[in-house]
């Protein structure tokens, strides 16, 4: 079976993990050793102002949004995303306002942002869908005019480029996921790159929030000034992350070369565009009969997926909003594999199978 996602690992990750296990120092809320090393290197890699490691992309989004006072405010967010993007607004007592996507890249639609922004808007969340950076320049113009922050959900886009710079440094807070299927994989992990005005103060707050609110620690004494969570990264994940970070650019290059082949060889028009800036966490296509297509692909030994069932359609969010592009796309979209473990024969097999079946 050709898997949709498959971590790109070698013996190095196993060696790094064993070293941590044998050291018996597996975790610390204060974020020392491998966690600090990872933060320092990821900071350099992204050239952001500050970086803080956490234990998931969900935690990153939750904590990043808590830096901006969104309580009772509206937050613009695409519905075509993983639920964590939207839940982070609710964790911080904000109100999600679902925004449609651009049919070409499936990132948040600028025109719809303009329509939905009001005096009640407290922030905009953008998602780099499948590793394709959103149109940050245009969104920034709107955010600056309205004096609101942008939070970027970069769960899919570790290593992606925008305007000649790596994702991580362009907006107020950028949230990464290092879930095992992601381009940079760990057992569990995430990070927030912060670039807002009070970066140093923000980092101090986030360090406390990721460890149950603990601050001003001296020997065995500490204080709690805010309600925090148990969100710190463990040493084993950080050790794996340090190895993964070294090969991220190489792995992303492989993903891009696979996407380039799909882009030129797949016959349908409805497919993900090619860009040298994108890191192709997966590659999306739109097919005629999704259920049949996915079943037949599976029978041929190729796993596919759906990213995503739109969040505004889920009962918990009680949304009656209409998002024409999102709704149209959501019934047709299928994700196909781009992970660096694919062989040339796998890639050719996928191309032939998709070309045979997309119209079935």
Ligand X SMILES: Cc1ncc(COP(=O)(O)O)c(C=O)c1O
Q: How far is the CB of 278 from ligand X (least distance, A)?
A: 15
Closest approach of ligand X to the CB of residue 129, in Å: 8
Q: Nearest distance from residue 306's CB to ligand X, in Å? A: 12
Contact window for ligand X (CB under 6 A) among 36-44, 80-88, 96-104, 293-301: 80-88
Sign of torsion, CA 38 40 46 48? positive
Total site size for ligand X, rule CB under 6 A: 14
CB of 155 to ligand X, least distance (A): 3
Binding part of the chain for ligand X, among 25-33, 76-84, 166-174, 264-272 by CB under 6 A, reads: 76-84
Binding test (CB under 6 A) with ligand X, winner from 74, 109, 152, 153: 153
- Helix (H), strand (E), coil (C) string for the chain: CECCCCCCCCHHHHHHHHHHHHHCCCCCCCCCHHHHHHHHHHHHHHCCCEEEEECCHHHHHHHHHHCCCCCCCEEEEECCCCHHHHHHHHHCCCEEEEECECCCCCCECHHHHHHHCCCCEEEEEEECHHHCCCCHHHHHHHHHHHCCCEEEECCCCCCCEECCEECCCCCCEEEEECCCCCCCCCCCCEEEEECCCCHHHHHHHHHHHCECCEEEEECCEEEECCCCCECCCCHHHHHHHHHHHHHHHHHHHHHHHHHHHHHHHCCCCCECCCCCCCCCCCEEEECCCHHHHHHHHHHCCECCECCCCCHHHCHHHCCCCCCHHHHHHHCCEEEECCCCCCCHHHHHHHHHHHHHHCCC
Residue window 252-271: x/- pattern of binding to ligand X, with contact defined by CB under 6 A: --------------------
Question: Which residue number places its CB atom closest to ligand X?
Answer: 57
Q: Counting contacts by CB under 6 A, is residue 190 touching ligand X?
A: yes
The residue from 81, 157, 207, 208 that contacts ligand X (CB under 6 A) is 81
**Residue 282 makes contact with ligand X by CB under 6 A:** no
150 φψ region: left (φ > 0), alpha (ψ -120 to 50), beta (else): beta
For residues 58 and 207, which CB has a smaller minimum distance to ligand X in the complex? 58
Assess 287 for contact with ligand X (CB under 6 A): no
Query: 102-131 mask for ligand X (x: CB under 6 A)?
Result: -------------------------x----
Only segment of 78-86, 264-272, 297-305, 338-346 that touches ligand X (CB under 6 A)? 78-86
Q: How far is the CB of 318 from ligand X (least distance, A)?
A: 21
What pairing do the DSSP bridges indicate for beta strands 161-162 and 165-166? Answer: antiparallel
Instruction: Answer yes or no whether residue 56 interacts with ligand X by CB under 6 A.
Output: yes
Q: Closest separation between CB of residue 56 and ligand X, Å?
A: 3
Q: Residue 85, interface with ligand X (CB under 6 A)?
A: yes
Nearest approach, Cβ of residue 221 and ligand X (Å): 33
Indicate which single residue of 34, 50, 79, 84 sits in contact with ligand X (rule: CB under 6 A). Answer: 84
List residues binding ligand X (CB under 6 A): 56-58, 81-82, 84-85, 127, 153, 155-156, 177, 179, 190
């Amino acid at each position: 079976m050709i898997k949709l996602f498959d971590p790109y690992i070698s013996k190095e990750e196993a060696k790094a993990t064993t070293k941590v296990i044998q050291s018996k120092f597996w975790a610390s809320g204060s974020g020392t050793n491998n966690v600090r090393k990872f933060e320092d290197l990821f900071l350099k890699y992204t050239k952001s102002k500050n970086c803080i490691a956490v234990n998931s992309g969900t935690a990153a989004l939750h904590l990043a949004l808590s830096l901006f006072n969104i309580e009772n405010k509206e937050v613009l967010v695409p519905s075509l995303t993983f639920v964590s993007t939207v839940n982070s607004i609710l964790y911080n007592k904000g109100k999600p306002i679902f925004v449609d996507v651009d049919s070409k890249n499936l990132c948040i639609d600028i025109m719809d942002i303009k329509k939905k922004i009001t005096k009640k808007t407290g922030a905009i969340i953008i998602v780099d869908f499948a590793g394709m950076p959103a149109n940050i320049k245009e969104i920034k113009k709107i955010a600056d005019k309205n004096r609101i922050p942008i939070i970027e959900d970069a769960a899919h886009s570790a290593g992606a480029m925008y305007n000649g710079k790596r994702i991580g440094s362009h907006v107020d807070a950028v949230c990464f996921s290092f879930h095992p299927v992601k381009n940079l994989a760990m057992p569990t992990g995430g990070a927030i790159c912060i670039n807002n005005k009070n970066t140093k103060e923000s980092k101090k707050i986030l360090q406390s929030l990721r460890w149950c609110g603990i601050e001003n620690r001296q020997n065995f004494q500490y204080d709690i000034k805010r309600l925090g969570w148990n969100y710190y990264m463990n040493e084993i994940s950080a050790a794996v992350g340090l190895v993964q970070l070294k090969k991220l650019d190489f792995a992303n290059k492989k993903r891009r070369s696979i996407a380039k082949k799909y882009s030129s060889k797949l016959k349908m028009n409805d497919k993900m565009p090619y860009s040298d800036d994108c890191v192709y966490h997966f590659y999306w296509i739109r097919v005629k009969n999704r259920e049949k297509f996915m079943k037949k692909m599976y029978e041929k030994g190729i796993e596919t997926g759906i990213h995503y069932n739109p969040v505004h359609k889920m009962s918990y969010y009680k949304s009656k909003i209409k998002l024409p592009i999102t709704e149209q796309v959501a019934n047709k979209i299928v994700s196909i594999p781009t992970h660096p473990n694919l062989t040339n024969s796998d890639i050719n097999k996928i191309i032939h199978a998709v070309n045979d079946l997309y119209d079935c």
